[in-house]
Structure 1
């Protein structure tokens, strides 16, 4: 493998909209620190929000949109392959690292990668599921292959079904261009493998090294951080916390994040008579979120869907915070039950309430699980180890002959 490498990182978005973008940005910095040259290729969607001098601004772009035309564009973006081909000709990368591309760039970029060593980094299930969640509208896990069921089950409206099914067909037709697909957890790998994705390599996400947090606050406190949307299960958390509040009236809950469900969740907290001990902070920067979360006794991740990895749980462990999380997806791999926290059945109030009460009623236990979580995070989820693992995948791909269609 040549050293240093020239790496082109391809991703739908430049701004840090979510965990996938955070992981990609950290990877860029980690690779550059090791002497590799990294350039970014993204769509223009959301780019206006970045200052001109932002380090997140990409070197190469193609047209994108956050408007109602996004469904058509993500199925077949005619500008993306042209711009990507030009970027490759200009930069001449040793390897192309492709992240999320199904919500802006579209599968039309894949034929461009036929003659370039490339890897696909799966951050969620979008490569095999048009909603990206593998979750049915009734809250149950979907085990069906994308197709007619996406419409009949109500996952995809009629106006979007045809373009999204076309996208799924293109994804299946061209995914052979990747000699390796990186999955961020064994759970993600299983979902992709069930749809026929091969050459899978599991590389857990890394989180930034951080000093151990200061002492917890005296008041028993829980914190949630994430988007306020149905699949995150914050309504279940509020019901569970109301049950805890009845037994530990001085316990508090901080909810950091925003989303379409915020008004309904605030109304729910009032109806449950916990509005005085539940604080909605709205969207906060990562630094502000960390400031709020650092003194909490427990981080709660009550997701309904099988989180592909569970970045917020790993970040909490690195900080030294105990975690109560849904026993599904990557969360069940990151959180060690009865060791770094507790795993509970998703979308069920009684077990979540019982787990929260157990931690919030026992400060010593919360501290013990927090210390163990930090040990595990430093050993398994350090950013340095993440970059090491990614570079090992690069080495194998570069040494593998480029496949023919």
Structure 2
């Protein structure tokens, strides 16, 4: 059996690429041959997997700044289509194709190539681009979750895009291109959910085969449990974008006067630095620096405005006993609250977040939440070893999808 992993990029800038690499590691350890299709130069994958065949397009993601040509190539990337079609023609019968990211470079063209072949296809839902044109089920104009059915007339009429309505129309057209691979194709695709609460959002589409496999987390701290109640640092770790809620967090930090450390890159980095002169807005940091800061962290804030599919950074904090304040829009908010692992605030409401931050001044509450976080983190997702075994079972058909 052979594994072909498809992902926009070859270097880790988010969870999708990290999980794609873990899939390759699991397959290699299980004795499977591996190939990789990426949209960038492939350097990260070649370095990590020198024995795998890497097909790289050498293009750049949309997040690095769109070009005029992207209007066409990011709707249907013909080079990606041809590369994948060629790879599958060479070996298809014994191949499992695992798709991770495609919205930045590879485009929906990969699904049209896959539809031409009989290879077993699975897709991991790191976001909602399988169904939602803007990938997040969020209305960027209103600052709330979008309830319109994807690709309906209501969806077409909704100005929900973060840039403009024209850009929304382009995204809408791209999702139609994606759907154009055909219901017969989509009905045979296995959809791996990183959280079971994603399924209601995806059942609107033609998908029939679902399976939940939560992504394991690694503790932010490298030195075991953090005694969070003895610390002072408030931590944010994520992209500096509207949908990640950094503006809400900035307003709350100014309301409370609380200092905090914010780590991450993104288009709002300069704005947040200017808005929070009393905080450390560090930008990107090495993992070792993040681990050092985690050991001094009192709690982590995950203020997402979108229905965050899983929230890996929250799990990473919980694993070392750091409680979280989490947005009500996050899909794990309910379980965080039920297991006394943190507090939930009303998404987008800076005063609601500020109130929770004031509560977190209590060391007694912090210790109770830290205990809850540390205990719950051990059960919220499988270990990497168990996850790897389950992934191989998915590839070999021993772990069946649920048919809807």
How would you bin the TM-score normalised by the shorter chain? Answer: 0.7 to 0.9
Match of 1:153 in 2: 158
Corresponding position: 1:32 with 2:28: yes
Corresponding position: 1:220 with 2:232: yes
Q: Between 280-289 and 334-343, report the one with greater CA deviation.
A: 334-343
Distance 1:95 1:291, change over 3 A: same
CA contact (8 A) 1:321 1:367 kept: no
Q: Structure 1 residue 318: deviation in Å?
A: 1.6
From 49, 57, 60, the counterpart of 2:55: 60
Match of 1:403 in 2: none
1:23-79 residue CA offsets vs partner (Å, 9 max, x unmatched): 2223333443444443321112x657x597455997122353334133421211111
Match of 2:210 in 1: 200
Q: Between 158-167 and 225-234, report the one with greater CA deviation.
A: 158-167
Corresponding position: 1:268 with 2:288: no
Corresponding position: 1:172 with 2:179: yes
CA contact (8 A) 2:228 2:321 kept: no
1:312-351 residue CA offsets vs partner (Å, 9 max, x unmatched): 1111112221111012242325624461111221011222
2:166 and 2:352 mapped to 1: Cα distance?
40
Q: Structure 1 residue 258: deviation in Å?
A: 2.1
Match of 1:188 in 2: 198
1:126-152 residue CA offsets vs partner (Å, 9 max, x unmatched): 121222121112112112223555564
> Where do residues 343-362 of structure 1 align in structure 2 (5 Å cutoff)?
343-359=344-360, 361-362=361-362
Distance 1:397 1:149, change over 3 A: farther
Q: Between 131-140 and 222-231, report the one with greater CA deviation.
A: 131-140
Q: Structure 1 residue 281: deviation in Å?
A: 0.9
Match of 1:272 in 2: none
Q: Structure 1 residue 181: deviation in Å?
A: 0.8
SS of residue in 2 equivalent to 1:8: strand
TM-score for the superposition, normalised by structure 1: 0.84
Corresponding position: 1:279 with 2:291: no
CA contact (8 A) 2:230 2:298 kept: no
Match of 1:96 in 2: 97
SS of residue in 2 equivalent to 1:319: coil
2:387 and 2:365 mapped to 1: Cα distance?
29
1:305 and 1:37 mapped to 2: Cα distance?
37
From 143, 150, 166, the counterpart of 2:147: 143
2:166 and 2:184 mapped to 1: Cα distance?
29
1:32 and 1:367 mapped to 2: Cα distance?
42
CA contact (8 A) 1:228 1:258 kept: yes
CA contact (8 A) 1:23 1:206 kept: no
Match of 2:2 in 1: 6
Corresponding position: 1:120 with 2:107: no
1:353 and 1:163 mapped to 2: Cα distance?
38
CA contact (8 A) 2:263 2:283 kept: yes
1:149 and 1:30 mapped to 2: Cα distance?
43
CA contact (8 A) 1:340 1:370 kept: yes
From 120, 131, 135, the counterpart of 1:132: 135
2:20 and 2:288 mapped to 1: Cα distance?
18
Q: Give ranges in structure 1 of 5+ residues lacking alignment.
A: 246-250, 270-274, 401-405
SS of residue in 1 equivalent to 2:180: helix
Q: Between 145-154 and 282-291, report the one with greater CA deviation.
A: 145-154
Higher relative contact order (CA 8 A, sep 6+): 1
1:132 and 1:53 mapped to 2: Cα distance?
30
1:209-255 residue CA offsets vs partner (Å, 9 max, x unmatched): 6652344484422100111111111221122223333xxxxx53111
CA RMSD of aligned residues (A): 2.9
1:136-180 residue CA offsets vs partner (Å, 9 max, x unmatched): 121121122235555643335465456533322232232643431
Match of 2:245 in 1: 233
